Amino acid sequence: MRLFLNIIKLCLIIACVASCTESIDTSARYVFKDETILSYLEKHDVYSSYVDVLRQVNMSRLSESKVSQLLSARGVYTVFAPTNDAIQKYLESLVEEGLITAPSWDAFPSQHKADSIRQVIVYNSIIDGGDEVNAFFYTFNFPNDKDEFILGTLNDKKLSVRKPSGQPDSIYINDNCPINIKNRDILTINGIIHQMEKVIAPKDITAASYIQECLDEKKEGFYACFRVIQACGLLDTLSKIRDEKYEELYQTGQIKDLEGMTSLGFAEGNTAYAPKHRLYGFTIFAEPDDFWRSQGIDPADPDLLQKLTQWILDNHQYSNDDHFTLDDNYESEDHLLYQWITYHILPMRIPKGKLVFHFNEYGYNLSRPDVYSIPVYEFYTTLGKRRLFKLTESRASNGVYINRFPITDNDRHGTGEEIGCDADKVGSLVDSGSPLAILSDMVNCNIYPIDAPISYNDATRDNLMKNRIRFDGMSLFPEAMNNDIRLKKASEERYKHVYIPNTLRSYNYFENMQQNSDMNFVYYNAWNDDWCNLHRDEMKAVGRFEVMFKLPPVPRRGTYEVRYKVLANGNRGVAQIYFGTDPEKLPVTGIPMDLTMDCRNDLDAKLVGWEDDNPLDDDYTAEIDKRMRNNGYMKGPQSINSNDGTERGKNDRENIRHIFVRQTLDPNETYYIKLKSVLDSDKKEFYMDFIEYCAKEIYDNPEKPEDIW
């Protein structure tokens, strides 16, 4: 059956290629209809060394089958096949590193070491597309420059692509491994082959090791930033790669996939797959050395730390509400320099293509992925002291910015788009296209240069408070980004339904989430589903659920509404909400929240106060909104749309925002929300899409009512 499906997929791919010949160079494309990847490689002597290695490497540590067998069977593989010369040069490089004494497999000090090097060559050269129709990666559908492939290699690593400007035929993998210009896009019955002129062998270097190496060599670029990171004692933190305890649990079969989802009460799905790893990651947004020179500060100055601290003081790159020290103990979390540099670091590795997400925002269509519309944004919590960090991009911004606060056309009949931005609210450009961007050198970190300094000063905090803060549920969990779970552009079951293991209370896969033992928690990566959620995706749990989340900080002390958005249907449950600062003693807030409430039902609509907007009478529509707010509800935002050709947005009757808290919140407190099922049923769903903070000066502004977006 799978062979038949793969033949169908192959035909679809060939048809797609044929339909696009006007924009694709096919001069170097070959199709071998009767060859597998392995048989093709075997017939070409230039790959004989690679074939020999394929025959010696096991498919996994739990299997004695060889990778050569994998490439001789049906499947969907992309193979970056190194030539004999490439493998020989790789062995020569190992001689230069002192690993071996001669460029020969016989020169390795042990069989184990030779096997590990063979595994490096093989595992980094193959992407298994599984059952994905579009998983044959032709060069024409490679990622954009400095982006990563959607799928990982056999060792779960993501390869990146470099396309040098002015060289349309040149493509490099992981920055410096060129694909042969003539021998590429070689199609076989079970995959595609690209001939490599250099072995892809990324080193598992951590951010800590990379930064230390740059410091030792006094490497230009981010020398000042790296000196501060070192002085603040952050290298130990930046050395983390993966949770070894989880590795052991998964490898020994103690972490299992969730099978039979519909029988457990989920509305759809067969198997939800547990993550293979629990990786750590970081993203650093850094002012380049040239910026510091423009400020009269030499990155190599022996007194750099003192001068930077003074620059932060002189330029008021802090808040008047901050409490900090100014002594020489830079490793203290109370030190001004420590607080300043940790605001530049997020506890997740964010690839270029996931700085923000363009999916189903108003005016956007996935068929034109590079044509943006309204501003989209992400709110994250920084490393160190918990502070709010905003990333945003729109049609007008021409790039992703940190803490940008534009003027938008947000009237009831507006477009929602950015129509201007005050000079003091432009923010800092994340220059992902810069040669300084470090996106594939480290296993656990990306570093982006920025064009203006960032800090959590009073202006930043004030602007954040003046904006509604809507954060996607998955943004709460760094593990979702670090382990390539969130919004993966693949619809195969192993990526569509991800099971978040329910382990001991003292050990959680998502550090910011605790769940009880009577529930199963699944992330739905709705890549090919047209759901009217923020970014389409959603989180669900089934059972007698009790789940608690740690929330982001608010920017200023003040009165806020906290809102919980629901895409309602009959599969959902009813939950009591608890909210507060003590996770062991959270107080109840309000009456239980009915996640089934669907205003397509007349009784629910009447209870909520729902009526469709009247496009000819804004005053009447405003009265509808006011009536709903008095009942503790709001319509869904206009900014979330559908890609099926219809405009859902605010008048989608399934979308309801529940206002469950209206109270004073403090930026120095950590808040938690807990949802507990009140039904005597183990087949009802918990659901989560996004949560909002909205300050009183927005929702209760007599001069300018809160916008509908």
* Residue extent(s) of CATH 2.60.120 domains in the chain: 482-699
| Rounded CA separation 284/43 (Å) | 47
Averaged pLDDT, 25-31 = 48
Q: Per mean pLDDT, which range of 17-21, 217-221, 541-545 is the poorest? A: 17-21
Which pLDDT belongs to residue 21? 32
Q: Provide the whole-model pTM.
A: 0.91
User: Cβ(250)–Cβ(276) under 8 Å?
Assistant: yes
With a cut of 90, say whether residue 180 has pLDDT above it.
Answer: yes
For residue 653 the two structure tokens come to 């009757």
For residue 615 the two structure tokens come to 């496009």
For residue 408, the cross-strand partners are 418
For residue 570 the two structure tokens come to 């009959």
With a cut of 60, say whether residue 505 has pLDDT above it.
Answer: no
- Distant-in-sequence, close-in-space partners of 68: CB < 8 Å, separation ≥ 6: 38, 51, 54, 55
Q: Name the pLDDT band for 643 (thresholds 50, 70, 90).
A: low
For residue 498, the cross-strand partners are 273, 523
Which residue bears the tokens 């470090």?
Answer: 438
With a cut of 80, say whether residue 162 has pLDDT above it.
Answer: yes
In 10 A of CB 14, how many CB atoms?
A: 14
Which CATH number is 482-699's, of 2.40.390, 2.60.120, 3.30.160, 1.10.3470?
Answer: 2.60.120
Q: Name the pLDDT band for 518 (thresholds 50, 70, 90).
A: confident
Averaged pLDDT, 261-290 = 95
* Residue extent(s) of CATH 2.30.180.10 domains in the chain: 2-196
Averaged pLDDT, 161-167 = 91
Which residue bears the tokens 């790959």?
Answer: 47
With a cut of 70, say whether residue 339 has pLDDT above it.
Answer: yes
Q: Per mean pLDDT, which range of 268-272, 319-323, 640-644 is the poorest? A: 640-644
Which pLDDT belongs to residue 134? 59
| Rounded CA separation 459/457 (Å) | 6
Q: Per mean pLDDT, which range of 8-22, 130-144, 402-416, 661-675 is the poorest? A: 8-22
Which CATH number is 2-196's, of 3.30.530.20, 3.30.70.360, 3.30.590.10, 2.30.180.10?
Answer: 2.30.180.10
Q: Name the pLDDT band for 503 (thresholds 50, 70, 90).
A: low
Angle (CA) 169 172 177, round 5°: 130
**pLDDT tens figures, 340-388:** 999 999 999 999 999 999 988 999 988 899 999 999 999 999 999 999 9
Residues comprising the chain, all counted = 709
Q: Name the pLDDT band for 16 (thresholds 50, 70, 90).
A: very low
Averaged pLDDT, 441-456 = 97
Looking at the chain, the whole-number percentage of residues with pLDDT higher than 70 is 93
Q: Name the pLDDT band for 596 (thresholds 50, 70, 90).
A: confident
Q: What are phi and psi of 655, to 5 degrees?
A: -90, 115
- Residue 319 CA: distances (Å) to CA of 325, 368, 404, 555: 13, 41, 18, 11
In 10 A of CB 386, how many CB atoms?
A: 15
Which pLDDT belongs to residue 14? 40
